[in-house]
A and B are shown apart, each in its own frame.
Chain A
């Protein structure tokens, strides 16, 4: 027996009204991040202790700047979905849950805007 209306069942979106969108996006971003994270580990993290000129020079190369842009975009998107899943698993009080979900979005947007605008300034 189902409590769903026929229309709700045929839409297949469930209680969240968004279906499996987050599940699917988490897999797509993960797939994109496999090569990007390998590049980030090997090429980028090695620069952290370098001089300002060395690191800036690296990001001034268009290919490096584009790859870094893509890595930040996909990593933060993946992060936002993942943290949302953690919050939904453990935060049960409706008020606290809403606040944490909003903070998650805010954190992602602030970090994303900071990283991308800083990267743009370095690259240009």
Chain B
């Protein structure tokens, strides 16, 4: 830790900075909720591209499919699916808090871990179903 700013300043305890803070689950889910929200916002541009390509006819749909089937496209799609799963599940957690439920520390920690695990399971499940259903490409 840095030295006191003034030699006369009394030595008071400092509040922990982000870098040295031991992250509780609730803090992690809160920040991830915001990050997945921003990621999903970027994803809406891809949604618009998908629908525009579709509306432009079979010829215009080819280039979109090429990108969607590429490795980068698959990674973006998986990120989108997981972000949506996490934001949805954690959003339900937030709605419960708005109604006044689930504020006990042990409960909030448990629901936080539950949301993380479930979101990964849902994303992998949705992705795997599409992957095996369509022969090598996701969905």
Q: Is chain B found bound to chain A in the same assembly?
A: yes
Minimal beta-carbon separation of A87 from chain B (angstroms): 11
B124-139 vs A, Cβ < 8 Å mask (1 yes, 0 no) = 0010011001100111
CA distance A86 to B35 in the complex (A): 10
Interface size on B (CB < 8 Å)?
40
Q: Specify the chain B residue showing the minimal Cβ separation from A114.
A: B48
**B91 and A30: CB pair below 8 A?**
yes
- Is B108 part of the binding interface, using a Cβ–Cβ cutoff of 8 Å? no
B43-73 vs A, Cβ < 8 Å mask (1 yes, 0 no) = 0110110111011011001000100110000
Q: Specify the chain A residue showing the minimal Cβ separation from B92.
A: A34
- Is A56 part of the binding interface, using a Cβ–Cβ cutoff of 8 Å? yes
Question: Would A45 and B81 be within 8 Å (CB), given that A50-B139, A121-B55 are in contact?
Answer: yes
- Is A14 part of the binding interface, using a Cβ–Cβ cutoff of 8 Å? no
Q: Which of A4-12, A76-84, A92-100 contacts B (4 or more CB under 8 A)?
A: A76-84
